Chain A
């Protein structure tokens, strides 16, 4: 874990109010794994007081990228930053996705801003793995395909691609003989992760999901981000330290 002030190198506006922020942080860039996250202080004042967690979206040399949309006060401030402004960053935090394993194809399932960790994931995945991406959103404006490959799209309102949710699309597109050859990597809203969990457990498909929860510190001292363990009823797991990426069988979503 590192903590330091990092200079903003670039803020790129993608479509539909989605932004990419590039920041110079060599130590984090050289150690962070896909699915891990950063906890970022977006102001030097007490407004907002707490850091904001962002999964690493990509790494380029000594720099990291995060992806965000304007959701609240923190991200509003972030979007207004200038090149050269500094952000205080703690990272890398938590556990990332497992890149190795016996699967032939990595099947990415992302909903909304859940696309954020996958550009770096795809970059770091072993060359011998195939990639299939399923990207969903409420409408076409919520579908984020940045950095994705071999993409199939779903929207709840049918404005783009398959009409329905992304897990329904996944079930329609996957044939059962493929189940043993794939591993699913999911990130998105809780309802999506819940149905992904149900689908993968029922069909015995390997699956890892990246979860989220309101948190303060990001490294285990505030104990603010519990998630129900599927294996131990008497204690919670912490999203920041035990996750945010979990084997879907280890957590109750």
Chain B
């Protein structure tokens, strides 16, 4: 019987399959573990961690939009210290690559978080969030500034030997310029895309529906935009891409890989069907079998330019 090799490499990081769970949609793994076997997933990206705990934004944090949702959680998280002490032990029961997402308010904080976390062997890579649209300081302020993204990439790389993935903002004119900066400063990969800035108002009260006014749009509504951003990076910069944005089924995974993603992350879908990510793995494998693909990375960037 033919078989498909689903393993993918992101820099020095090897994943048993290309389907990861996206930051901010799996907490620290314990809740979703009630629904799926975490050993089977390609990897988990933690909720963004900051040096100190963050309370996050007041309610309302979420509003549904056509085929999407806006969120402004405000990076609520337990902080690095509690993460290492209280949250990692649960994840260590599983044989799953753990990628720590870091969100900070200053360059120094990104470096300090990485320095503290990198000593933990169970953490296999870092995803640097330079693109959260929902906090006043940091976040987009860095994500919109290629010089800052370059400095953060370089300084974080200097304190860890583990792969550094930079999660890029789509709220820029040319995302590929940022991917290039990441590559030039030693970054191992990019994740694309983070959420798009959006808002929603109540027409009766004329007030914003979410407390933060602006939120990040996610869900299937953003998939075409995410695909275009991945393709733009693929065409301009030679760097591994983790595709994110509105994946709802295995076909979306394949589509992201065709336009250039080496792996993908499942985000908003985890809220709707926490079991969906696992179910896609054999479905993607079946697609590969039917298309005579023996190593899944053959799919990456395999788009046809014929019109």
A contact residues vs B (CB 8 Å cutoff): 1, 3, 41, 46-51, 88, 90, 213-217, 219-228, 234-236, 241
Contact = CB atoms under 8 A, between A and B. Distances in A.
B32 interface: yes
Nearest to B66: A47
Among all A-B residue pairs, the 6 with the closest Cβ atoms: A224-B62, A217-B271, A216-B271, A46-B67, A220-B31, A221-B27
Interface stretch (B9-17, B51-59, B169-177, B190-198): B51-59
A102 to B, nearest CB: 34
A216 B58 CA distance: 16
Chain B: interface secondary structure? Answer: loop
A146 B70 CA distance: 36
Interface size class of B (residues with CB under 8 A): 35 or more
A99 B274 CA distance: 31
A222 B62 contact: yes
Chain A: interface secondary structure? Answer: loop
Interface of B: 24-27, 31-32, 34-35, 47, 53, 55-64, 66-69, 71, 73, 76, 219-220, 248, 268, 270-275
Contacts of B248: 46
Residue from A213, A215, A217 with most neighbouring chain B CB atoms (10 Å) = A217
B60 A213 contact: yes
B67 A47 contact: yes
Given A3-B35, A41-B272, 9 more contacts: A1-B35, A3-B273, A49-B67, A50-B64, A215-B62, A221-B27, A222-B62, A226-B58, A235-B76
Given A3-B274, A49-B69, A50-B64, A225 B59 contact: yes
B81 to A, nearest CB: 14
Contacts of A51: 271-272
Given A223-B47, A235-B55, A214 B270 contact: no
